[in-house]
């Protein structure tokens, strides 16, 4: 069964460094998402991406964040200058269509900013 994959599973970085989190969505899906979960808190929506552009983003997704689909398979989240409060689990998800369709999630990348 097709699945969403994410790399790396864990990343430790120093404050102020850039990180890139990678995701490979399910191949025939058209909508892509990033969510994050700070330890002990809710899963929060960051951004949705369709047709090679951002379709919706949350207040969390400020200028430090960017997303890209550099080729036909990868979907990346870049944090330009990490802060301590960026430490969280980051989940990628994809769906065939947007709106009410089921989103399929990857296993997540645990990011720790020191």
Partner 1 sequence: GDSVTQMEGPVTLSEEAFLTINCTYTATGYPSLFWYVQYPGEGLQLLLKATKADDKGSNKGFEATYRKETTSFHLEKGSVQVSDSAVYFCALTEGGGTSYGKLTFGQGTILTVHP
Q: Is 100 in the site for partner 1 (CB under 8 A)?
A: yes
Q: Tell the burial category of 71 from Cβ atoms under 10 Å away from its Cβ (0-12, 13-18, 19+).
A: exposed
Q: How far is it, in rounded angstroms, from Cα 103 to Cα 72? A: 19
Structure tokens at 52: 């090679």
**59 DSSP assignment:** T
- Binding to partner 1 by CB under 8 A, coded x per residue (else -) over 38-67, reads ---xxxxx--x-x----xx-x---------
Distance of closest approach, residue 93 Cβ to partner 1, in angstroms: 8
Among 80, 101, 112, 114, binds partner 1 (CB under 8 A): 101
Q: Is 33 in the site for partner 1 (CB under 8 A)?
A: yes
Pick 87 or 95: Cβ nearer partner 1: 95
Distances (CA, A) of 25 to 2, 38, 103: 9, 22, 10
Distances (CA, A) of 46 to 2, 60, 61: 24, 6, 6
Pick 84 or 99: Cβ nearer partner 1: 99
Binding site for partner 1 (CB under 8 A): 4, 6, 31, 33, 35, 41-45, 48, 50, 55-56, 58, 91, 93, 95, 97-108
């Amino acid at each position: 069964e097709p699945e969403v994959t994410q790399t790396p599973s864990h990343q430790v970085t120093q404050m102020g460094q850039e990180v890139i989190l990678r995701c490979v969505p399910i191949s025939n899906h058209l909508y892509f998402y990033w969510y994050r979960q700070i330890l002990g808190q809710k899963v929060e929506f960051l951004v949705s991406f369709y047709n090679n552009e951002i379709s919706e983003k949350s207040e969390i997704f400020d200028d430090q964040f960017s997303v890209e689909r550099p080729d036909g398979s990868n979907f990346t989240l870049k944090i330009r200058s990490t802060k301590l409060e960026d430490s969280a689990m980051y989940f990628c998800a994809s769906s065939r269509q947007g709106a009410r369709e089921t989103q399929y999630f990857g296993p997540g990348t645990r990011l720790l900013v020191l």
